[in-house]
Amino acid sequence: MKLLQAKDEDLIRLSRERMLSLSLEEMRRIKEHYTKLGREPTDLELETLAQTWSEHCVHKTFRGIIDYNGEVVDSLFASTVARVTRELNKAWCFSVFKDNAGIVDFDGDLGVAFKVETHNHPSALEPFGGAATGVGGVIRDILGVWGDPIANTDVLCFGPLDYPYEKLPRGTKHPRFIYSYVVAGIGSYGNNMGIPTVNGAILFDEGYVGNPVVYCGTVGLVRKSRYKTRALPGHVALLVGGRTGRDGIHGVTFASAELHEESEETSGSAVQIGDPIMEEKIKRGILKVRDEGLASAITDLGGGGLSSAIGETAEKSDCGCVVHLERVPLKHPRMEPWEIWTSESQERMLICVPQENLERVVDIFRDEEVEATPVGEFIPEKKLYVYYGEELVGELSLDFMFRVPRIRRKATWRDPNLREPRLKEPEDCTPILLSLLGMPNIASKESIIRTYDHEVKAITVLKPLQGAFCDGPGDAAVLKPLYDSWRGIVISNGINPEYGKIDPYHMAASAIDEAVRNNLAVGGRRIALLDNFVWGNPEKPDRLGGLVRAAKACYNVAKAYETPFISGKDSLYNESTLGQVTSTILISALGIIPDVRMSVSMDLKKPGNHVYILGRTYNELGGSHYYKLYGHLGRNVPRVRVSEAKNTFDALTRAIDKGLVKACHDLAEGGLGVAAAEMAFAGDVGLRISLDDAPKEEMRGDAALFSESNSRFLVEVEKGMAEDFEKVMEGCILARVGATTKEKKLVITEGSKVMVRAELSDLREAWQRTLR
C-alpha cells in the first residue's frame, strides 16, 4: 500500500477501489498514523481498519456529533437510547449494549438474551440466502453470549406484491420474488435448526421496493454463572465451525454503502449461503463447553470476520493476540491473508480456551463433527500480531484500531406540512371494514406463519395463531422455557412506518407503545426493549433529521414507560436507484410472565360476556389504514400520552393477574373496527359494540371506528365480574362498550345508527383471502 505519499484524491480513490467505504478524513487519520510509524500499512492492516471503523461495526452516526436544527447532539446513542437504560438503572438488566445481545434476568439463575438485527442488503440481492444467513447470524449472536437459542422473531418489509413489473429498475428484483424467497429462507434456517419462529410481522410499502427490510431476532437462555467474557493472556483463540472462504468479503463495508444497479455483480462475494445444520452442531458443542465451564470468552464471527472477533475480544479483555492465519481451514486453496482475516463466511465462532482445557474442547467439537482449530494466542501486550507462516502480515495497535474517529454530521427536519383529507362521511362502514381487513398490512399472514415451525421445542404456549380455529392474530408469543416452572417469556413487536412519513418522532413513540401494549395484552410485564433503525443515507441531513427525532422519542416514551433498552442496531445507507427506504423503526419487546397459565389470548371466549374499551380514542387518522385505503396520508398522526397510558397499562396487568380478563387485543392498524372483527372471528363469538360511551374526542363515527390512537385495548370480561374488573381499573380511562353474542355477527352502532353489521364468516374471509 502506498499511503504515505498519497494526496487526498489518491486516498479517496484507494478507499473506493478497495471498497473500504472509508471517508477522506478517516483515510487521512490512517495516513497520519502510519507516517508516525514510518512505514506503509499492509493491505491486511488497511482492511482491518476499514472493517473496524465501518458504520456497520461502530455505528459512527449514532455515536458521532450531530448538529440538529442548531442543537448539538453529542452521541445520539448515549443521549437517547442508552440514557433510558442508564437512568432507569433496573437491577434486572444483566448485560446491556456491551455484548452481542442484551440480557435480562429470568429467574435468578437464568437470564434471557435477546437480539434483533437486519439483513437488508444481502436479502435484496439474494433473498433466500440473505434472509437465511440473517437468521443464522442473529442466532450466533445469542450463542455469542453463551445463550441457548430458543425462539426466533422476524419482521419483514417488502414492496407491494402487485407492483408493476415495468416500473422496476434494472437490477431490482420484484417484491413478490423477494417476498417468497425471504420467507422461504427464514423458515428454512429456523426450522432446520429446530428453533421455533414464534412471532413477527410483514408489511408492504412502495418504499421497500428497492430496499426490502429483513429483521431477524432470536431469544436465548443464559446461565448467569456460566457467562464468561474475558480472555486472559495465554488462552487459545479457537476457531470453530465452517471453513473460511472468499464468500462474504466486504460484507460490512458493503452494508455501509448504498445499493446501486451493479451491486449484484460487484458485491456477489458479500452474498452468503447458510448451513443451518452446521450451526446446529456448533450450538450443541458450545452449550457443552459452557456447561462444563471450559472456556473464558466467546464471540461470533460476523461483520469483519476474524479481524473483528479477535480484535474486539482482545480489546474487551484488555490484552492482545498473536494470530497465525495459515492455520485457518479454508474452502478455497488460494486466499490472500487479508481475505482470510476479513472473510465473513457463515457458521463460525471464536472461543477462548485456557491451554489446559484445549484438548477437551476440541474433543467436544470433534464429537459433533465440527472443526475446531487453534489460530492464535492471547498476549498481555495490547497489540495484534498477524502472521501468515513466518511472515508478519499485520501489526496493529488496539488503541489505534478502537480509537474510532468521531464524525460530525448535519441534520435537519422540517414539518412536511401535510393536510388532513376530507373524506365523505360513509353511510355504512361495513364495506370499509371488509376492505381494511383485506389490506396486505392487516390481512392474515397464516400462509407464511404455517411454513415456520412454531412448535418445535414444545415451549410455545401462546402461539402466533389463536382462537377457535387456531387462525386469529395473536398480539404476542408466550414461551414456557422450563419443564419444571410456569414462568414465561413474552415476545412482541411494534412497527408503524406509515406514521414516520408524517413525523418519525411519533412513529418511534407509537412503535414503543405498540410493542409494549402487545406484550401487556397477553400478560407480559417488566418489559425490556430493543431498537432497530432502518434508515437512508445519514450523510444527507434530511434523513438524519428524522433519525434524530425518532431517537428522541425513544428516550421520552421508554423512560416514561420504565422500559429500558437492552440492545439495538441501526442499518443506515438503505438507498437504491428508487431512493431511500421508508424510514422504519422496529421496537421489539421482551417481557416476563410469572405464570404462563394466566396468559390471555385475543379471541373472544363465549357469548354473554362484557366488552370494555381501555384508553381514549382521539381524532388521529394520520397515517391510518383508513386513509391509506383512499390514497391519503393525513396529518393527525397518533401521539403517545404517556401518563394516561401508563395508568391503563398497570391496571390491565393487575386485572389479568386476578384472572378477570377473558380476552384482550390491542387496537392498532385499522383501529377499533379491525380489532373488534379479529377478536370476534377468532373466537367465533358474536360481538355488539356501541360507540356512544367509548371515551373519545368529539369526532365522526367513522373516525372513531378507524382512528389508530395508541394505548388502547379491547377486553372481554366474564359476566358477573364487571364490578371486580371496574374496581381494579379504577382511575383509568375505560368504558363498557358492548357484549359478546350468540349470533355470529359483528354489530357496531352509534346512537341509533348501525355503522357495521357483518357475518363473522364474511369478515374472516375478507381477512384471509388476500395472502392465502
Partner 1 sequence: MALEFCIFRAPGTNCDAETKHALEYFGCRARVVHINKLISGEVKLSSFDGIVIPGGFSYGDHIRSGAILGKMVGERLKDQLKEFSENGKPILGICNGFQVLVEAGLLPAFRGFSDVPEAALGKNLSNRFEDRWIYLRNDNKGKCVFTRGLEILRMPVNHGEGKLILPQGEEEKLYRQLLENDQVVFRYAKADGTLALGEYPANPNGSFRDIAGICDPRGTILGMMPHPEKAFHRITYPDWTRTGLEGVGDGYWIFKNMVDYAMTLI
Among 6, 423, 465, 629, binds partner 1 (CB under 8 A): 465
- Give percent helix, percent strand, percent coil of the chain, each to the nearest 5: 40, 25, 35
672: helix, coil or strand?
helix
Half-sphere exposure of 652 (CA within 13 A, CB side): 35
Whether residue 235 lies in the annotated active site: no
- Binders of partner 1 among 345-384, rule CB under 8 A? 367-369
Draw the binding track, 628-667, toward partner 1 (x: CB under 8 A; -: no contact).
----------------------------------------
Q: 395 vs 765, which CB is nearer to partner 1?
A: 765
Does 453 contact partner 1 by CB under 8 A?
yes
Among 467, 494, 670, 673, binds partner 1 (CB under 8 A): 467
Query: Residue 157 contacts by C-beta under 8 Å, 6 or more apart in sequence?
Result: 202, 203, 204, 205, 208, 212, 213, 214, 497, 534, 582, 584
Q: 127 vs 207, which CB is nearer to partner 1?
A: 127
Catalytic pick from 56, 235, 506, 632? 56
In angstroms, what is the minimal distance from the CB of 707 to partner 1? 29
In angstroms, what is the minimal distance from the CB of 189 to partner 1? 11
Stretch of residues binding partner 1 (CB under 8 A), selected from 165-173, 375-383, 451-459, 718-726: 451-459
From CA 705, how far away is CA 187, in angstroms rounded?
A: 36
Q: 109 vs 367, which CB is nearer to partner 1?
A: 367
Stretch of residues binding partner 1 (CB under 8 A), selected from 418-426, 600-608, 612-620, 632-640: 600-608
- Cell numbers at residue 613, please? 374499551
- The angle subtended at Cα 495 by Cα 494 and Cα 499, nearest 5°, is 130
Whether residue 260 lies in the annotated active site: no
From CA 513, how far away is CA 587, in angstroms rounded?
A: 9
Q: 410 vs 457, which CB is nearer to partner 1?
A: 457
Q: Do the beta carbons of residue 325 and residue 375 sit within 8 Å?
A: yes
Q: 193 vs 550, which CB is nearer to partner 1?
A: 193
- Cell numbers at residue 215, please? 429483521
Report which DSSP code applies to 165. G
- Cell numbers at residue 461, please? 404456549
Among 451, 537, 577, 619, binds partner 1 (CB under 8 A): 451
Q: 280 vs 395, which CB is nearer to partner 1?
A: 280
Q: 339 vs 368, which CB is nearer to partner 1?
A: 368
CA distances from 85 to 69, 117, 179, 514 (A): 26, 20, 36, 19
From CA 73, how far away is CA 636, in angstroms rounded?
A: 28
Q: 379 vs 461, which CB is nearer to partner 1?
A: 461
CA distances from 239 to 250, 370, 393 (A): 20, 10, 19
Q: Do the beta carbons of residue 657 and residue 752 sit within 8 Å?
A: no
Q: 154 vs 513, which CB is nearer to partner 1?
A: 154
Q: 234 vs 659, which CB is nearer to partner 1?
A: 659
Report which DSSP code applies to 80. I
Does 281 contact partner 1 by CB under 8 A?
yes
Taking only Cα atoms into account, the Rg of the chain, rounded to an integer number of angstroms, comes to: 26
Does 603 contact partner 1 by CB under 8 A?
yes
Q: Do the beta carbons of residue 673 and residue 705 sit within 8 Å?
A: yes
Catalytic pick from 59, 119, 235, 610? 119
Stretch of residues binding partner 1 (CB under 8 A), selected from 110-118, 455-463, 584-592, 669-677: 455-463
Residue for grid cell 367513522: 702
Does 154 contact partner 1 by CB under 8 A?
no
Q: Which of 754, 538, 563 is nearest to 650 (CA)?
A: 563
Does 273 contact partner 1 by CB under 8 A?
no
Among 66, 101, 182, 193, binds partner 1 (CB under 8 A): 193
Angle of the 127-143 helix axis to the 276-291 helix axis, nearest 10: 0
Among 230, 332, 419, 597, binds partner 1 (CB under 8 A): 597
Does 600 contact partner 1 by CB under 8 A?
yes
Does 771 contact partner 1 by CB under 8 A?
no
Query: Residue 495 contacts by C-beta under 8 Å, 6 or more apart in sequence?
Result: 155, 201, 203, 511, 514, 584, 585, 586, 587
In angstroms, what is the minimal distance from the CB of 183 to partner 1? 10
527: helix, coil or strand?
strand
In angstroms, what is the minimal distance from the CB of 100 to partner 1? 22
Does 462 contact partner 1 by CB under 8 A?
yes
Does 229 contact partner 1 by CB under 8 A?
no
Among 418, 456, 629, 771, binds partner 1 (CB under 8 A): 456
Does 399 contact partner 1 by CB under 8 A?
no
593: helix, coil or strand?
strand
In angstroms, what is the minimal distance from the CB of 596 to partner 1? 7
Does 687 contact partner 1 by CB under 8 A?
no
- Cell numbers at residue 488, please? 414465561
From CA 490, how far away is CA 653, in angstroms rounded?
A: 13
Question: Quick one: three-class SS letters along 194-242?
Answer: CCCEEEEEEEECHHHCCCCEEEEEEEEEEEHHHCCCCCCCCCEEEEEEC
Q: Do the beta carbons of residue 454 and residue 154 sit within 8 Å?
A: no
Stretch of residues binding partner 1 (CB under 8 A), selected from 453-461, 508-516, 531-539, 708-716: 453-461
Report which DSSP code applies to 112. E
Query: Residue 756 contacts by C-beta under 8 Å, 6 or more apart in sequence?
Result: 428, 429, 430, 433, 673, 705, 746, 747, 748
- Cell numbers at residue 342, please? 476479513
From CA 380, how far away is CA 317, in angstroms rounded?
A: 10
Q: 279 vs 339, which CB is nearer to partner 1?
A: 279
Does 288 contact partner 1 by CB under 8 A?
no
From CA 89, how far away is CA 47, in angstroms rounded?
A: 38
Does 601 contact partner 1 by CB under 8 A?
yes
Does 476 contact partner 1 by CB under 8 A?
no
Does 595 contact partner 1 by CB under 8 A?
no
Does 138 contact partner 1 by CB under 8 A?
no
Among 450, 540, 736, 757, binds partner 1 (CB under 8 A): 450
Size of the site for partner 1 (CB under 8 A): 43
Does 194 contact partner 1 by CB under 8 A?
yes
In angstroms, what is the minimal distance from the CB of 191 to partner 1? 6
Stretch of residues binding partner 1 (CB under 8 A), selected from 380-388, 466-474, 527-535, 704-712: 466-474
Catalytic residue positions?
Answer: 56, 119
Task: Please give the residue ranges that form the binding site for partner 1 (CB under 8 A).
Answer: 187, 191-194, 275-277, 280-281, 367-369, 449-463, 465-468, 470, 480, 483, 596-597, 599-601, 603, 605, 683
